[in-house]
Amino acid sequence: MDRTAIMKKPLIYGGLAAALLAVPLLTNGYTQYVVNLVTVYVVLGVGLNILLGYAGQFAFANAAFMGIGAYITAILSSQLGLPFWVCIPAAGVVTALIGTACAVPAMRMASIYLALVTFAFAELMVWVFINWKGVTNGSNGIGVSAPDLFGYVFRGDQRLYYLLLPCCLTMLWLASRILKSYIGRSFVIIRESEIVARCNGIDVSRTKMIAFGLSAFFGGVGGALFAYTVGLVLPQSFGLFQLVIHIAIVVLGGMASLAGAIIGALLLTTLPEFLRDFQSLQEVMFGTALVIVAIFMPRGIAGALTRFGILPREMLVRGIVRERRPVATPGRDQDLEPIGVGVTHD
Amino acid sequence: MGFMTLLTAGLAHGGLYALVALGLVLIYKTQGIVNWAHGELLMVGAFSGYTAFVLVGLPYPLAFLIAVLAGALLGAVMERVAFRGIVHEHHATLALVAIGFSVIIKGLARIPFGADVYTLPPAVDAGPLRFAGAIVTAQSVLTITISVGIALMLLAIFRYTRTGRQMQATQQNLNGARIVGVNTGRIFSITWALAAAVGAVAGLLAGPTSLLYPDMGSEFLLKGFAAAVLGGFYSVTGAIVGGLLVGVIEMLIGGYISTAFQQVSPFLIIIIVLFVRPHGLFGRRPVERV
């Protein structure tokens, strides 16, 4: 990094922060609600991307993690009257513990079997939300009271934004720090080859547990923010469609890319709103977009932007990164990087 | 309800799940793709049959044929247009493409059929039969017969026809099959067409017992997954046995425990099977190669 880049950096971040803070000046209640949803889905998208994109674990449980987080928040805030700074971390921590338990099947099975078992777990959780009426109030759902901080109530979408934005940015910062650490790099090695990871002295089981727990933590916090945003937690919100949106955010935005999660969340939250009144048209467009992007941009939108040099390449190891050299093995292992030189992926 | 009645009803439902599982297994064996849009192929079969039989008024056998061809064509087109080019991509990408197709097909089905529900009359119009103390509808007998018949037919195709043997070769070793001159592209198309046709048959047979609506496929897909997992995801026999078992287990749980548990029985089956015996009843333990 040269000197001008160092000089420029605070300027860019400052401008970005000012722009983000000024968003409510330009919105009305409805558009602000959509913006709030974007911040929520950024957190959720990052959560799934940690597991699916970085650690390569093909797990479908994140809608369930989100649901658990949302229910914990709803119950703690409206029935016990706890403040948000207890509810949100509580939702994250409890969900992370459940997520760590979900790593147990991942030790034994891979790829589609893991997908199926986590998918079954997610559907089972929806059933629990509907049928455990004493706690979840069944299909009627639970209302969530507006969060407040020392008497300042974040009521209304514009005020709520100033709670969601710091949470979202904190989670993003956390994700980027963790992914650049030893743990984040071990995720990538596990994705590329568990055997290579073992040879490098990485405890695969432990790392998988951390990946699941971490992903679930983001899912739980995302669920908590979702609960505050929508104000009413319903079991149907966490079904198959929620899952599809999460996967779409990660795959369309770009696997193993934080920018990808942001792009994906932005697109998949705002675009469907334009076609709200036409369900069939919305479905056809959404489905076509999924198919076309997946076929022509297998690395997602962030991957395509990186290739054209619009987005900088995300690096997990700072320092000299050698040019990519073509790897001879065909098929799935094509993007195997020389590990230890600098793990980059776009 | 008596045990025998539950058992035969379970077998009839199980026959449908077996057909769905059969399609999933065929595609997975050949290309390693889990077809998340398989439920929609079933829905397309059911609605094509409904259009030809009820709306146009064609005789039932002709309507049946049209529905099967429509399903097969759709399956083959999906494979050729999308999956063949990206078969080496990450499982998540493949799943997303399949889900994309599923959403498109559902959206397209909503344009003519809207949010209403339809019923497809049974293939044979006969009263319930009594068999060993159980009350059995003629449709159940037909469903069980056709499912087992299709499974036997597929096994015969694999064993005795040239195309069937080429399909087996492609499943066992793609490059090996190419080297000995198998047109693997053609095999992929045939596999998808066959799998989709079997799915469409399931849709036609499900018509009288289940209602027809654009979202009808997801329930069958879940149970097909449970059946395929139980059977090991690699075996045609496993898919049939798994399907019948899932149907019977579901009915017995519904009859003796509670209907609330009946809804989650496929998920519980998936979770329990994958924990206890991940390779299913008929699969082999996978070997990891370095």
Residue range A140-157, pLDDT digits in tens? 888 887 777 776 777 777
Task: List residues of chain B with CB under 8 Å from any CB of chain A.
Answer: 28, 34, 82, 85-86, 88-93, 95-97, 99-108, 110-111, 218, 222, 225, 229, 233, 260, 263-264, 266-268, 270-271, 274-275, 278, 290
A127 contacts B264? CB cut-off 8 A: yes
Q: Which residue has the higher pLDDT, A230 or A342?
A: A230
Q: Quick check: B212 pLDDT over 70?
A: yes
Closest-CA residue in chain B for A52? B92
pLDDT of residue A154: 75
Chain B residues close to A251, C-beta within 8 Å? 92-93, 96
Decide if B240 contacts B26 (C-beta within 8 A).
Answer: no
Alpha carbon of B53: minimum distance to chain A alpha carbons (Å): 25
For chain A, percent of residues with pLDDT exceeding 70: 87
Maximum pairwise Cα distance, chain B: 60
Tell me the domain boundaries of chain A.
Answer: 3-335
3-state secondary structure A200-252: CCCCHHHHHHHHHHHHHHHHHHHHHHHHHHHCEECHHHHCHHHHHHHHHHHHH
Helices B184-206 and B38-50: angle between axes, nearest 10 degrees: 60
Interface test with A, best of B173, B271, B284 (most A CBs within 10 A): B271
Chain A residues close to B264, C-beta within 8 Å? 123-124, 127
A332 contacts B34? CB cut-off 8 A: no
A244 contacts B99? CB cut-off 8 A: yes
Q: Quick check: A167 pLDDT over 60?
A: yes
On whether any CB of chain B is under 8 Å from the CB of A195, the answer is yes
A247 contacts B99? CB cut-off 8 A: yes
Tokens standing for residue B243: 């399907």
Chain B residues close to A303, C-beta within 8 Å? none
Distance of CA B93 to the CA centre of its chain: 22
Residue range B31-52, pLDDT digits in tens? 888 899 999 999 999 999 999 8
Phi, psi of B26 (to 5 degrees): -55, -50
Closest-CA residue in chain B for A291? B97
Q: Return the minimum-mean-pLDDT range out of A59-68, B38-47, B265-274.
A: B265-274
Q: Quick check: A69 pLDDT over 90?
A: yes
Alpha carbon of B237: minimum distance to chain A alpha carbons (Å): 19
Alpha carbon of A345: minimum distance to chain B alpha carbons (Å): 14
Q: What is the rounded distance in angstroms from the CA atom of residue B148 to the CA atom of residue B126?
A: 21
Alpha carbon of A261: minimum distance to chain B alpha carbons (Å): 15
Q: Is A323 exposed, middle or buried (0-12, 13-18, 19+ CB in 10 A)?
A: exposed
pTM: 0.84
pLDDT of residue A317: 60
**Helix, coil or strand: residue A137:** coil
Q: Quick check: A115 pLDDT over 70?
A: yes
Nearest to A58 among B91, B111, B222 (CB): B91
Alpha carbon of B126: minimum distance to chain A alpha carbons (Å): 37
**What is the pLDDT confidence band of residue A276, given thresholds at 50, 70 and 90?**
low
**What is the pLDDT confidence band of residue A171, given thresholds at 50, 70 and 90?**
very high
- The ipTM estimated for the assembled molecules is 0.82
pLDDT of residue A219: 94
HSE of B24, CA atoms in CB hemisphere, 13 A: 38
Alpha carbon of A157: minimum distance to chain B alpha carbons (Å): 31
A283 contacts B106? CB cut-off 8 A: yes
Helices B184-206 and B60-81: angle between axes, nearest 10 degrees: 140
Closest-CA residue in chain B for A283? B107
Phi, psi of B136 (to 5 degrees): -125, 130
pLDDT of residue A159: 82
Structural domains in chain B plus CATH codes: 3-276 (1.10.3470)
Closest-CA residue in chain A for B109? A280
Decide if B20 contacts B75 (C-beta within 8 A).
Answer: no
B96 contacts A116? CB cut-off 8 A: no
pLDDT of residue A146: 78
Residue range B96-133, pLDDT digits in tens? 889 899 989 998 988 888 778 888 877 666 667 776 66
- Rg value, chain A, Cα: 20
H/E segment holding residue A153: strand A152-153
Tokens standing for residue B36: 């998340």
Q: Quick check: A330 pLDDT over 50?
A: no
- Highest mean pLDDT, choosing among A63-72, A303-312, A337-346, B78-87: A63-72
Q: Which residue has the higher pLDDT, A273 or A171?
A: A171
pLDDT of residue A320: 44
Nearest to B92 among A117, A120, A247 (CB): A247
b/e string for A161-199 if b means 16 or more Cβ within 10 A? bebbbebbbebbeebeebbeeebbbbbbbbbbbbeebee
Q: Quick check: B140 pLDDT over 80?
A: yes
Q: What is the rounded distance in angstroms from the CA atom of residue B212 to the CA atom of residue B102?
A: 16
B274 contacts A123? CB cut-off 8 A: no
Q: What is the rounded distance in angstroms from the CA atom of residue A187 to the CA atom of residue A207?
A: 7
Alpha carbon of B273: minimum distance to chain A alpha carbons (Å): 9
Mean pLDDT (whole number) for B266-280: 82
Decide if A92 contacts A107 (C-beta within 8 A).
Answer: no
Chain A residues close to B100, C-beta within 8 Å? 286-291, 294
A298 contacts B275? CB cut-off 8 A: no
Alpha carbon of B264: minimum distance to chain A alpha carbons (Å): 7
Q: Which residues contact B105 (CB under 8 A, 6 or more apart)?
A: A287, B37, B40, B43, B44, B74
